Amino acid sequence: MTRRPALYGLAGGDGDRDAGPARQPEIPASPGRSGAHVPVMPDESLRLLDPSRGGLFVDATLGQGGHAERILSANDSLRLIAIDRDAESLEMARRRLEPFQDRATFVHDDYRNLPEILERAGAGRSGSVAGVLADLGISSWQLAAPGRGFSFQTDEPLDMRMDRSSGPTAAQLLADSSTEELARIFFEYGEERHARRIARAIHDRGVHGPILTTGELASLVERVNPRRGARLHPATRVFQALRIAVNRELQGLDQFVLDAVEALQARGRLVLLTFHSLEDRTIKTTLRTLSHQCSCPRSLPRCACNHPDRVALLTRKPLRPSPQEVAANPRARSAKLRAAERL
Ligand SMILES: C[S@@+](CC[C@H](N)C(=O)[O-])C[C@H]1O[C@@H](n2cnc3c(N)ncnc32)[C@H](O)[C@@H]1O
């Protein structure tokens, strides 16, 4: 089957929505997908991460290594721990970063295991790191890669796992989840208005055998919710939601931010790029909590409010990509960048 130019956003649909499920996600219609991942907001990320200081840095989401290459180029003595749960991405980035191999450690793991990863690398869980970058979600390469099941542009097994060595596939999740659970996933993670009807249709279809391929799922959604001239393929939001559920992308994100802050040395920087309103909300709330200053009355001899005051926010509001960047790289469209400095 020939691969048509893909709608961007399929399972990676980066809906950027702060107002909750009532608003429609903004998913770019056509990225001109080539498969190569273009790093998002590279100048802003590097400025805030400030790797020219040197020291130990962590790229928690290595992807194709675009951000990592810039980090490693910023200072000749800087060391980088580069993490990705996708073994194929990690291998591609490792080849790209060969010129820096004596300063980079590549780790196939989940960034939510950051404390253990740091310990294994001999860095210690606390106070050892000068900067952490996390560019969340999925890469353009993953979306375009054949056989990964993230996209319905070709009919292939419905996998969607970033780490293909563990966890249930999207097909298994569809088969094992109740109608209510599927409706919740489609509504919460995809803001799909027809979540219930689609979940019910998946359940009813189950009597004829499970849904095993991207094409079968896309056709089923299209039957329930015909396109009627819409810009977006009707299955886009369902694919995005399933991907988030399969990879448990929202679980443990707050703890990762806490662990990353714990890992930072004083004046160390944390830079976080998100593409989904639920991710951004979690990060905003966690950083705000960590940045709360003591609110006790001055008359009290010591703090009684237990506000942590662990970081200073470097971005009161999230930074957004410039119109020029969005024009050149539509994937950047829904990006939000937040950064903080360890006190
Ligand atoms: C948007 S891409 C990063 C692109 C990268 N900054 C670049 O310039 O090429 C996100 C990457 O994070 C990885 N990823 C997503 N969730 C992860 C997790 N929980 N642990 C480790 N890696 C993860 C994905 O496999 C993907 O390769």
Asked if residue 322 has pLDDT above 80, the reply is yes
Q: State mean pLDDT over 73-92.
A: 98
Coil vs helix vs strand at 93: helix
> Does any ligand 1 atom lie closer than 6 A to the CB of residue 148?
no
**pLDDT for residue 283:** 97
Structure tokens, 198: 């689609």
> Does any ligand 1 atom lie closer than 6 A to the CB of residue 259?
no
Residue carrying the six token digits 């991942």: 37
**pLDDT for residue 304:** 82
> Does any ligand 1 atom lie closer than 6 A to the CB of residue 135?
yes
Check if the beta carbon of residue 46 is closer than 8 Å to that of residue 73.
no
> Does any ligand 1 atom lie closer than 6 A to the CB of residue 37?
yes
Q: Whose CA is nearest to atom 5 of ligand 1?
A: 63
Minimum-distance ligand 1 atom for the alpha carbon of 162? 25
> Does any ligand 1 atom lie closer than 6 A to the CB of residue 275?
no
Asked if residue 303 has pLDDT above 90, the reply is no
Structure tokens, 38: 């273009």
Distance CA 222, CA 191 (A): 16
Q: Whose CA is nearest to atom 22 of ligand 1?
A: 84
Distance CA 117, CA 111 (A): 8
> Does any ligand 1 atom lie closer than 6 A to the CB of residue 85?
yes
Summarize pLDDT for 256-300 with one digit per residue, the tens.
Answer: 999 999 999 999 999 999 999 999 999 999 999 999 877 788 888
Q: Where are the beta strands (DSSP E) in 24-163?
A: 56-59, 79-84, 104-108, 129-135
Q: Which residues contact 7 (CB under 8 A, 6 or more apart)?
A: 27, 29, 30, 31, 153, 232, 233, 236
What is the helix (H) or strand (E) element at residue 215, kind and residue range?
A: helix 214-224
User: How many angstroms is it from 255 CA to the middle of ligand 1?
Assistant: 17
**pLDDT for residue 167:** 92
Q: Which of 72, 73, 139 has most ligand 1 atoms within 8 Å of its beta carbon, as the pocket-test mutant? A: 139
User: How many angstroms is it from 84 CA to the middle of ligand 1?
Assistant: 6
Per-residue DSSP letter, 310: -
Q: State mean pLDDT over 20-46.
A: 61
Q: Which of 162, 272, 325 has most ligand 1 atoms within 8 Å of its beta carbon, as the pocket-test mutant? A: 162
Burial of 266 (0-12, 13-18, 19+ CB in 10 A): exposed
Q: Whose CA is nearest to atom 24 of ligand 1?
A: 138
Distance CA 55, CA 51 (A): 8
> Does any ligand 1 atom lie closer than 6 A to the CB of residue 16?
no
Partnered with residue 169 across adjacent β-strands are none
User: How many angstroms is it from 35 CA to the middle of ligand 1?
Assistant: 15
User: How many angstroms is it from 138 CA to the middle of ligand 1?
Assistant: 6
Q: How confident is the model at residue 34 (pLDDT cuts 50, 70, 90)?
A: low
- 239-254 burial, b at 16+ Cβ within 10 Å, e below that, comes to bbbbbbbbbebbeebe
Distance CA 71, CA 58 (A): 10
Q: How far is CA 102 from the centre of its chain?
A: 28
Residue 255 CB neighbour total at 10 angstroms: 13
Q: Which residues contact 5 (CB under 8 A, 6 or more apart)?
A: 30, 32, 33
Q: Which of 14, 62, 97, 273 has most ligand 1 atoms within 8 Å of its beta carbon, as the pocket-test mutant? A: 62
% of the chain surpassing 70 pLDDT: 90
Residue that wins the pLDDT comparison between 180 and 29: 180
% of the chain surpassing 90 pLDDT: 79
> Does any ligand 1 atom lie closer than 6 A to the CB of residue 162?
yes
Picking from 11-15, 52-56, 188-192, 306-310, which range would have the lowest pLDDT averaged per residue? Answer: 11-15
> Does any ligand 1 atom lie closer than 6 A to the CB of residue 63?
yes
Q: How far is CA 263 from the centre of its chain?
A: 20
Asked if residue 55 has pLDDT above 70, the reply is yes
> Does any ligand 1 atom lie closer than 6 A to the CB of residue 90?
no
Q: Whose CA is nearest to atom 25 of ligand 1?
A: 86
Coil vs helix vs strand at 83: strand
Phi and psi (nearest 5°) for 284?
-60, -50
Asked if residue 18 has pLDDT above 70, the reply is no
User: How many angstroms is it from 137 CA to the middle of ligand 1?
Assistant: 6
Summarize pLDDT for 184-223 with one digit per residue, the tens.
Answer: 999 999 999 999 999 999 999 877 789 999 999 999 999 9
